[in-house]
Structure 1
Amino acid sequence: MTSRVDCHVKVLDDRVVERAVRKDLDVIVYAPHFTRLPEIRERAAAYSSDDLLVIPAREVFTGSWQNRKHVLAIGLEEPVPDFIPLEAAMAEFDRQDAAVLAPHPTFANVSVGEHDLRTHAETIDAIEIFNPKHLPLHNGRAHNLADMLSMPPYTSSYAHLPRSVGISHTAFETPIESESDLVAALADGIGRRVVYDNGLERWLTTAAEVGHLVYENTWKKVDRLFLSGTEPTHPQHIAYEGRFDDVAVY
């Protein structure tokens, strides 16, 4: 049995679910920005059905906003905040036995690079080799990294817009009927195929998503959202009970 998984989406509503089902997906991984794990879990459960499993996850922004490195963790039992050092995040993922993915590697100032991948090779379970937000140069570089480091690949739509969901997916050669099934498939390196559309729909998706990216990465937005210390995934938020105060970047 093959399970078709969109390994990373940022949005979740009725339109997303309808599109995912229309694209014959079995699973989507829901990991919105700046949202705490309990809320993600609650929303994922509300939109899961017999037709589509929605798995909660966290894309953690490590480091500072100017030089952040994104890592995607699936299977967390306890929340992990943004804006802590990469090393601290990886140690927490290890402690919780989460599956860890490297989205959009080496892209701009928002990604892990070759040195990070080598350093944390025992923790990182897969590397994204196709992201529809990227140009062929970026995807080719990611593919070469995966080959060079012998790391299992994956892809996702990285959808920040509902229309992007399912433009690419990872087809795992195993049934995935729960969060723990996906964590095991990633941790065990289960065989999979990276599947994506490289035609007109892909390029329309790229154009729309890049336009969204420009807004998303403005300093004005992050300053408004984050740096007061009271927002949901700030490391000094009361919800983390002081566990990350000593490693908080902000």
Structure 2
Amino acid sequence: MSESEGTAVKTRIDCHVKVLDDRVVERAIDAGLDAIVYAPHFTRIPEIRREAADYSSESLTVIPAREVFAGSWRNRKHVLAIGLDEPVPDFIPLETAMAEFERQDAAVLVPHPEFATVSVDETDLRRYRDVVDAVEIFNPKHLPSHNRRARDLADALEVAPFTSSYAHLPRTIGVAHTVFDGGIEGEDDLVDALQANAARRVVYQNGRRRWSVTAGELAHLCYENTWKKADRLFLSGTEPTHPDHIAYDGRFDDVSVY
């Protein structure tokens, strides 16, 4: 539910979270958010939609989205798509993912650009400048130099900005959000706002809590990319979002990187 600041309607959205439960919802409401964008790893969009609907209420809208892992584990290109009608798998070339997003007229966001080996870089951004709707210019996992680089990229390419908590841990909720001008009541409204380059501002904390969050999230990132990664690759079998999964009807078999 959007709220007014003076006479103008503003909508406060955390544009990318990875976790969703009662604690996340409570923290989001306490932080004054109107909506969060929920995009968990390795989960197909129908399941994400069901979870988002289950946790949405008059106090908080949960908007479903997919962060697709384009490319291989060694050089992953994370791209966030909002407004998908059909599922798109992970582990496909970035070119294929972008073509699918464009075909489905989804809003395309670039989280944490040029961060480690999990991000779209400047060359990619320039190539897909006409497809990308927004670039994340503040991410709690980033160090200051990373955030400066992200802002410079968005400015140089004249791409609209956004921010998010990128929360993998519930306590990260509330550290950053994007304030859009106008009312945004759900997924379609957010897609329209992003594609229309709606006016917005990024809001984030930069004190002791922010740095505590950064430390916790970076520690989680290390864990996620070591033991959990090995388990996922070698012990767990085919992921639900692997291109070979039956859910994709063989559409991506010829482009799968694995």
**Same fold, judged at TM 0.5 (above):** yes
Alpha-carbon separation, structure 2, partners of 1:166 and 1:84: 32
3-state SS of 2:100 partner:
helix
Q: Which amino acid aligns with 1:159?
A: A
Gap regions ≥5 residues in structure 1: none
User: Match of 1:9?
Assistant: 17
**Does 2:86 correspond to 1:81?**
no
Aligned match of 1:26: 34
What is the TM-score normalised by the length of structure 1? 0.98
User: How far has the Cα of 1:175 moved from its partner?
Assistant: 0.5
Write the mapping of 1:63-212 to structure 2, written as runs, cut at 5 A: 63-212=71-220
Q: Secondary structure of the residue that 2:134 maps to in structure 1?
A: strand
**Superposed displacement of residue 230, structure 1:** 2.8
Asked whether the 8 Å contact 1:130–1:139 carries over to 2, the reply is: yes
Change over 3 Å in CA distance of 1:226–1:241 after alignment to 2:
farther
Q: Distance in 2 between matches of 1:177 and 1:248?
A: 36
Deviation at 1:223, TM superposition (A): 4.1
Residue number among 220, 224, 233 corresponding to 2:231 in the alignment: 224
Deviation at 1:133, TM superposition (A): 0.9
Cα distance, 1:201 vs structure 2 = 0.8
Amino acid at match of 1:22: D
1:44 aligned residue (49, 52, 61):
52
C-alpha distance after superposition, 1:92-137 (max 9, x if no partner)? 0000000000000011110001110010011100000000111100
- Is the CA contact 1:229–1:237 (under 8 Å) kept in the aligned structure 2? no
3-state SS in 2 of match to 1:42 = helix
Question: How many Å separate the matches in 2 of 1:174 and 1:11?
Answer: 26
Matched with 1:57 is 65
Cα drift, residue 247 of structure 1: 0.4
Q: Tell me which stretches of 4 or more aligned residues in structure 1 moved more than 6 Å.
A: none
Instruction: Measure the CA separation in 1 of the matches of 2:165 and 2:238.
Output: 31
Aligned equivalents of 2:36, 2:111: Cα separation in 1: 15
Q: 2:242 aligns with which of 229, 234, 247?
A: 234
Identity %: 69
Q: Distance in 1 between matches of 2:253 and 2:231?
A: 21
Name the aligned partner's letter for residue 229 of structure 2.
V
TM-score using structure 2 length: 0.95
Counterpart CA distance in 2 for 1:171 and 1:226 is 38
**In structure 2, what is the Cα distance between the partners aligned to 1:150 and 1:84?**
27
CA contact (8 A) 1:130 1:155 kept: yes
How far residue 229 of structure 1 moved from its aligned partner, in angstroms, is 6.1
For 2:32 and 2:233, the matched residues in 1 are separated by 37
Q: Does the 8 Å CA contact 1:229/1:235 hold for their aligned counterparts?
A: no
Post-superposition offset of 1:224: 2.8
